[in-house]
Amino acid sequence: MLALNRPAIGKTLPTENSTLVLFNNIFNQAKYANLHTASSEFYLSEDEKLVVALCNLARFDGHAFIREILLPAGIDTSKLDFQGMICKLKSTRNLPPLMPAYSLHKTALSHAKDMGLTGDSGHISSKGLNFEQRISQYFPNHAGFAENFHLGSGEPLDIVLSFLSNKHNSGIYRDNILSANLHYIGVSIQPHRNSCSDAVIDFARKPKMLPATSASTSKRKKTEAYFMDCPKGRTFDNPGKKQGFSLFKLFSRRN
């Protein structure tokens, strides 16, 4: 767990909520509010929502991440582990925020629980599936995928900093968070048998746009539903197609 010097702000809450107390007010500011893209996702915990917001702040303005997050938290940015992170953050700006997708949360949740129960780590499930095989069960095969995993502290900032630093895969996890080619995110933080907790972040690219033919339009709608999905089972109509008035439809509704 990273040693964070977090001053108390507002009401006194339990230690595990200290990060929420310290940083949630940042995303209430107008200039950062649109980065809290998972704030209304009821299936996510508050910690999981904050992981998404912190990733989005690093994408939107690396200097602001240093100024608003690292310095108030008392992070020693001179440490060797953080040098590559600081350099990358200073050159990162105006990447679009990652949008939450329920299907990505489901695959992240499944793998996080699997690792927690077995005590394993890595991208291979207990059934021998890699992350691309696991995610493609929910998403179309032509989409691009990536995955980060973390063992240790379940604090949102600890999780995000472990990815942004050089502690994992020589910066690959950092590149996943700061990639302009990844657009959707799913997060799950779960207890782990051999560690305090584990966290899994799954990413996906936007689906490729297909020609506007009748067959491909139907296929595209099904593809887009993966990325706009909702646990309530909402239907997805083509917003560009206007439904005209029809006497047949009007009278056919009558009993």
Taking only the tens place, the pLDDT of each residue in 23-39 is 778 888 899 999 999 99
Predicted pLDDT of residue 217: 58
For 94: left if phi > 0, alpha if psi spans -120 to 50, otherwise beta; the answer is left
Percent of the chain with pLDDT over 90: 41
Q: Residue 105 above 90 pLDDT? A: yes
For the chain, what is the mean pLDDT? 77
**Of residues 4, 137, 170, 151, the one with CA closest to residue 72:** 4
Is 253 or 39 the better-scoring residue by pLDDT?
39
Range 8-23 average pLDDT: 47
Predicted pLDDT of residue 148: 94
Phi, psi (degrees; rounded to nearest 5) at 160: -65, -40
Range 161-190 average pLDDT: 88
> Among 61-70, 71-80, 193-202, which is the least confidently predicted range?
71-80
The pTM is what? 0.76
Q: Are 50 and 23 in contact (CB under 8 A)?
A: yes
